[in-house]
Amino acid sequence: RSRRPPALSSSTSSAPSDPLLKMAQEGDAETQVAMGIRYYKGEDAPKDYAKSVEWWSRAAEQGNADGQFFLGAMYASGEGVAKNEVKAVELFRKAAEKGHAYAQNDLGDMYYFGRGVSRDYVTAVVWFRKAADQGHVDAQYSLGWMYEQGEGLSKDETKAAEWYRKA
């Protein structure tokens, strides 16, 4: 099961009396993740990718898998921070090792395309399978593709079809 951050209430605001902001400032990692989402989406606060990076960095430093994943995505895309695919892989790996399905899928992508690491189809399959086993649709499709093409494992059209059906 994927661990996604809680949805933000539309009644919150970034005012100084905002309890969400206070909790984040006091070091609550889940709330820091939520603050990062708030600034990323521009919900109840101006859209500000740099502030998203700041909040997700705080959560990631505490070992929060969602913070690590979102921060990794920012490094992969270069939004709010200088693009650094090696750092993205490092962050995705930390979250993926904690069972974060989205990080597992994105780490699989990094290995598949050789972004921030050497291209390695076998390792991509490992991470896609971990995410796919948790029901991550993109990872399930990627496994189908890799079975169909014989990339990182033996070509197997039956298994490809099974993964495509799951996706």
Report how far residue 56's alpha carbon sits from residue 159's, in angstroms, rounded to the nearest whole number.
Answer: 38
Which value, to the nearest 10 degrees, does the dihedral of the CA atoms of residues 55, 61, 65, 70 take?
A: 40
Report how far residue 152's alpha carbon sits from residue 143's, in angstroms, rounded to the nearest whole number.
Answer: 10
pLDDT number for residue 37: 96
Angle formed at CA 13 by CA 8 and CA 14, multiple of 5 degrees: 115
H/E stretch holding 123: helix 121-132
Residues with pLDDT less than 50, the chain:
1-15
pLDDT number for residue 17: 66
How many C-beta atoms lie closer than 10 Å to residue 27's C-beta? 12
Is this prediction's pTM over 0.95? no
